[in-house]
Amino acid sequence: MGTFCSVIKFENLQELKRLCHWGPIIALGVVAICSTMAMIDSVLWYWPLHTTGGSVNFIMLINWTVMILYNYFNAMFVGPGFVPLGWKPENSQDSMYLQYCKVCQAYKAPRSHHCRKCNRCVMKMDHHCPWINNCCGHQNHASFTLFLLLAPLGCIHAALIFVMTMYTQLYNRLSFGWNTVRIDMSAARRDPLPIVPFGLAAFAATLFALGLAIGTTIAVGMLFFIQMKIILRNKTSIESWIEEKARDRIQYYQLDEVFVFPYDLGSRWKNFKQVFTWSGVPEGDGLEWPVRERCHQYSLTIEQLKQKADKRVRSVRYKVIEDYSGACCPLSKGIKTLFTSPCTEEPRIRLRKGEFILATRGLRYWLYGDKILDDSFIEGVSRIRGWFPRNCVEKCPCDAEMDQAPESEKKNR
């Protein structure tokens, strides 16, 4: 109830501006079209309200819509939680383990990162989601994930309504040449006939809504599984990239150490409870976190400082081996690349064979970095920044030679 009140009151009326963005407009449009068409099809042409099954079906459709919108607006307006402006650790000596944000004039708390879109340091930042026009972080991670679960489930229900409506209404109008097939359609016959006939416009609208429902089920369902995978490991998308770079740093320098992610509590259930609670309020205050044995609060931030000091790990150089048009969903780069395209407003960059890229972070099939516009690797040259597929690039020959350098040279770097 407290969450609902926060949505109604709006501590800052400027939050309403989040709705004026292409992401929420498209997301709410899809929800409105699928839910409205499912209710219309069900009541008028498939399962009337005067039957018990029709009434239950109608209530379920309303229930899906309410739960989806509740969690959607909860994720959007409650927000991820921001590090207080001017924040610093209680123990002043701990500041040596933290990065300082010049924009927020505060130290970045453990697991927090600065979002250029929100212009604030976000607690336990996972990513900035254009569909809610807000960051996904500490306070709204549960609501965002529930939205990713409920939206596909509601769309599956709606898709079944669409399919059965078209099947029952077109059964007596179309001949498929199946003379030997006999299907009992007595349950689909309505007496009296529907007030509004199922015409061409209704068929086109139902077919369009079916396409939206199937597309949403696939796309949002994949995002749900990605989120659950990192939640059960008590990670975020950003922290997964930091962990990958930590392993790269240790392997490159042949160091006798093992990086242990500090916030994985060793149990999927314990990790799950860090995000999902009965009260709806996540564990902790977003500034301090429980850690596993032999780790401390700043284990991850210390690793970040090491990576920041190590230019090779911070920016890995790649050479473009295959042209890339800059498309958000490139069909020619493989199925896995197509369906794992980053869900972000950050741009894609066009690549041409022979160009060089400085990659700073990435996902399994995508990298993010700067394209160097001249032939020099000098710091400060003009660059274009964005995402690009991993299978379009390979490590720069310069880095390949360094990978083969003597072990003593690596350790001295």
Distance CA 27, CA 25 (A): 6
Distance CA 359, CA 368 (A): 6
Kind and range of the H or E run holding 40: helix 22-41
Distance CA 403, CA 400 (A): 5
* Packed helices 141-170 and 200-231: angle between N→C axes, nearest 10 degrees: 150
Distance CA 273, CA 267 (A): 10
Distance CA 338, CA 333 (A): 7
Long-range contacts, stretch 251-256, CB < 8 angstroms, 24+ apart: 252/312, 252/313, 252/403, 252/410, 253/410, 253/411, 253/413, 254/407, 254/410, 254/411, 255/411
Distance CA 61, CA 47 (A): 12
Cα of 202 vs its chain's centroid, Å: 34
Distance CA 184, CA 263 (A): 58
- 260, with CB counted inside 10 A (0-12, 13-18, 19+), is middle
Distance CA 69, CA 64 (A): 9
What the block records as the tokens of 217 is 């089920």
Distance CA 352, CA 335 (A): 21
Answer yes or no: 129 catalytic. yes
- Please report, for residues 80, 107, 297, the alpha-carbon distance to residue 290 in angstroms, rounded to integers and kept in the order given: 19, 19, 8
Of the residues 104, 121, 129, 155, only one is catalytic, namely 129
Straight-line distance from the first to the last Cα atom of the chain, in angstroms, rounded to the nearest whole number: 56
Distance CA 85, CA 103 (A): 9
Secondary structure of residue 127 in the 3-state scheme: strand
Which of the residues are catalytic?
129
